[in-house]
Amino acid sequence: MYKIVIIDDEPLARSIVKEYLQKHTELELSQECGDGFEGVKAIQQHKPDLIFLDIQMPKINGFEMLELVDERPAVIFTTAFDEYAIKAFEAHAIDYLLKPFNQERFDKAIAKWLQQADSTKESTKDLLETASLSPAQAQRIVIKDGSKIKIIPAHEVFYLEAADDYVKVHTKDGYFLKSKTMGHFEQVLDANQFVRSHRSYIINISQITRIDPYEKDNHVAVLKSGAKVPVSRSGYPKLKSVLGF
């Protein structure tokens, strides 16, 4: 018996998936969820084998939700129209259902999943890398803080700091850990707003109050919060050009 979870914000969109599931007696619906927050909880609780996931949902989209899940199930995406997402699916050979879809197409997706249940998980990981570069996700950083989910608008970030396999996202409420690389954030965040001042630091330039010299050749940026962020020899000219001094 396989466990299934459906995550979609439109009730009728969930009901059509339920209807199509009926003839697959080996699949059992554990829960249906109307948003990503419920989705994260349901996945943790039921540990489903397969989820049906919509992309456009309230607060956090389908991709952001997946990033918050530690043990990722196999995913079949269901979406109406999202050029960006469809490109990402095709790039990573992930199966997706374009709404509206019929029973036949649905059965095909299930059959494909049953055949290659393991390999789909790997491609999901690659897919998330691509999806996290989307313009929508440059506006905010979604983080799991214990059992809570925190959405940090990009403009509220003070600075980012590398910490092993994680990045510390410093905000007015302290820092939060996100398992991403510095390179990822450098690529995603608005380059006119965020500058990589140092191998291990990215600064939100609207937070800078002054830049002081520090030891020989180096500088340090002082933020509104009082935090001091290192600026390397190669980071200094980058700050200079963005700030225009």
Partner 1 sequence: MIWYGCSFEIAIIDALVSTIHLLLASLLLLNTLRYYMPQKERFIHLFAWCVFLTAIIIILTRLELTGLLIHNHGYSEFFDRSVVIRISLYFLFIGCIALMSVIWYNRVEQDERGKRKQDLEKLAKDAELFKLRQQLQPHFLFNSLNSINALIGVRPAEARKMVQQLSDFLRGTLKKEEQQWVNLKEEMQYLQLYLDIEKVRFGNRLSTVVNTDESAENLKLPALLLQPIVENAIKFGLYDTMGETIIIISAKNEDNKLIVEVQNPFDPETSAPQQGTGFGLKSVQRRLFLLFARNDLLKTTAKENIFTTTVTIPQHV
19 binds partner 1 per the rule CB under 8 A? yes
56 or 200, CB closer to partner 1? 56
**Cis amide prior to 100 (ω within 30 degrees):** yes
Regarding 139 and contact with partner 1 (CB under 8 A), the answer is: yes
Are 6 and 30 in contact, with CB atoms under 8 Å apart?
no
The reply on whether position 1 binds partner 1 by CB under 8 A is: no
Size of the site for partner 1 (CB under 8 A): 28
CA distances from 15 to 4, 48, 52 (A): 14, 18, 12
Contact call for residue 155 and partner 1 (CB under 8 A): yes
The residue within the footprint of partner 1, chosen from 2, 24, 41, 56 (CB under 8 A), is 56
Stretch that binds partner 1, among 50-58, 171-179, 201-209, 216-224 (CB under 8 A): 50-58
At 9, is the secondary structure helix, strand, or coil?
coil
Task: Using CB under 8 A, pick the residue from 68, 69, 86, 98 that binds partner 1.
Answer: 98
Identity of the residue, 112 or 155, whose beta carbon is nearer to partner 1 in the bound complex: 155
Residue 151 sits in the site that holds partner 1 (CB under 8 A): yes
Among 189, 132, 188, 200, which Cα is nearest to 164's?
200
Burial class (CB in 10 A: 0-12, 13-18, 19+), 64: buried
d(CA 116, CA 50): 12
126 scored as a contact of partner 1 (CB under 8 A): no
Task: Kindly identify the residues of this chain, within the stretch 214-233, that bind partner 1 according to CB under 8 A.
Answer: none
Among 44, 100, 199, 214, binds partner 1 (CB under 8 A): 100
Please answer whether residues 124 and 115 qualify as being in contact, where contact means their C-beta atoms are separated by less than 8 angstroms: no
Provide the residue type at 163 as one letter.
A
* Nearer of residues 100 and 213 to partner 1, judged by Cβ: 100
Coil, helix or strand at residue 109: helix
Nearer to partner 1, 114 or 138 (CB): 138
The DSSP symbol for 94 reads -
N-terminal to C-terminal alpha carbon distance within the chain: 65
Token output for 198: 């140092």
Q: Which stretch binds partner 1 (CB under 8 A): 34-42, 66-74, 170-178, 184-192?
A: 34-42
Residues that bind partner 1 (CB under 8 A): 9-13, 15-16, 19, 34-35, 37, 56-59, 80-82, 98-100, 102, 139-140, 151, 153-155
